[in-house]
């Protein structure tokens, strides 16, 4: 069985299938050297390592981000460096961005950690010229658990620091900026309440998040893929695994909207493989709902992996190593 023989191979094949290794690698310029280890470990203490992703912002992305923030990006914001924490199971845990904001007394330097659900796990303030309260635990812990839909407004959802409202607002911009930039760059959809139990594979396409390329589509699919993988490994969260498989089936239907980098002229086979992938995933989700983990559902998952392998051989240029994700 795929899960029993080589879990890493399954993951590599899925990544190759969805991304088809478009012109830029998934992780951008990734490395593990010269990292600010102490600061990173303070934010994600359970991470086994960190890798870099420095994608760079386009003019259109900058315009969207500045409109959302109602503030101009600093020069260093235009070439952000994201640090991706990797768990001992070789899974991404979220991201960290070191960011600055201009306060009344000068530049405030800090960092923000987000988890894979797009929620703030920690905000740190390192350099400042205002009250020590803006770097204190009591003030910063208010940001934990906040997400893209929160206003981050001092006096609204964040308690102010009397006499230092301007500095407090500057600090609040750090997590807001991190969230807006990460969503703009990585195309991660907004999470809706109980989204994992409300999935409908036959829902209108308009209900699906819009994506511009295969990389963005992969970002939507990778979390759901690991939900299914973890269900087979841990035998927990059956409902989430079923919903994830159904979402993968929906996303799979969109893959053929993008041209593969190899054998792009073989349109008929390309579309067939994508449709077969989506159809097989939907049947797998239905069987998973009926039977849970069984010989039949394991067999179906092996068939899905085989389709991934076929697509990789025909339409991909190279494999992607999960260790660099």
User: What's the pLDDT at 11?
Assistant: 39
DSSP symbols for 109-125: EEEEEEETTS-EEEEEE
More confident residue, 310 or 146: 146
pLDDT in tens, 210-240: 656 666 677 777 778 888 888 888 777 889 8
And the tokens for 23? 């012109």
Which of left, alpha, beta for 47 (phi over 0: left; psi -120 to 50: alpha)?
beta
pTM for this prediction: 0.55
CATH fold of 213-324 reads 1.20.120
CA–chain centroid gap for 150, Å, is: 19
CATH 1.20.120 location in the chain: 213-324
- Phi then psi dihedrals of residue 279, to 5 deg: -65, -45
Residue 248: which pLDDT band, with cuts at 50, 70 and 90? Answer: confident
Residue 272: which pLDDT band, with cuts at 50, 70 and 90? Answer: confident
Residue 264: which pLDDT band, with cuts at 50, 70 and 90? Answer: low
């Amino acid at each position: 069985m795929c899960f029993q023989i080589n879990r890493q191979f399954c993951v590599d094949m899925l990544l190759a299938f969805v991304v088809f290794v478009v012109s830029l690698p998934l992780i951008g310029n990734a490395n593990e050297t010269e990292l600010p280890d102490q600061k990173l470990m303070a934010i994600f203490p359970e991470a086994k390592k960190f890798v870099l992703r420095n994608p760079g912002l386009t003019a259109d992305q900058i315009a969207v981000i500045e409109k959302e923030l109602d503030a101009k990006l600093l020069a260093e914001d235009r070439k952000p460096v994201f640090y991706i924490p990797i768990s001992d199971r070789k899974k991404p845990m979220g991201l960290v961005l070191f960011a600055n904001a201009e306060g009344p007394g000068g530049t405030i330097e800090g960092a923000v950690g987000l988890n894979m659900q797009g929620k703030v796990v920690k905000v740190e303030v390192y350099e400042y010229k205002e009250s020590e309260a803006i770097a204190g635990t009591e003030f910063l812990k208010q940001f934990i658990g906040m997400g893209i839909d929160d206003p981050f407004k001092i006096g609204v959802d964040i308690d102010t620091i009397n006499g230092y409202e301007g500095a407090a607002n500057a600090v609040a911009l750090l997590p807001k900026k991190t969230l807006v930039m990460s969503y703009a760059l990585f195309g991660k959809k907004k999470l809706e309440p109980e989204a994992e139990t409300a999935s409908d594979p036959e829902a209108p396409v308009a209900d699906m998040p819009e994506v511009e390329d295969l990389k963005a589509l992969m970002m939507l699919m990778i979390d759901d893929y690991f939900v299914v993988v973890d269900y087979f490994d841990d035998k927990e969260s059956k409902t989430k695994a079923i919903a994830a498989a159904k979402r993968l089936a929906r996303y799979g239907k969109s893959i053929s909207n993008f041209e593969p980098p190899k054998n792009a002229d073989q349109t008929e086979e390309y579309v067939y493989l994508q449709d077969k992938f989506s159809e097989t995933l939907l049947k797998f989700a239905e069987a998973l709902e009926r039977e849970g983990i069984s010989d039949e559902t394991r067999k179906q998952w092996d068939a899905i992996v085989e389709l991934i392998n076929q697509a990789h051989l025909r339409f991909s240029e190279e494999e992607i190593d999960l260790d660099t994700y």
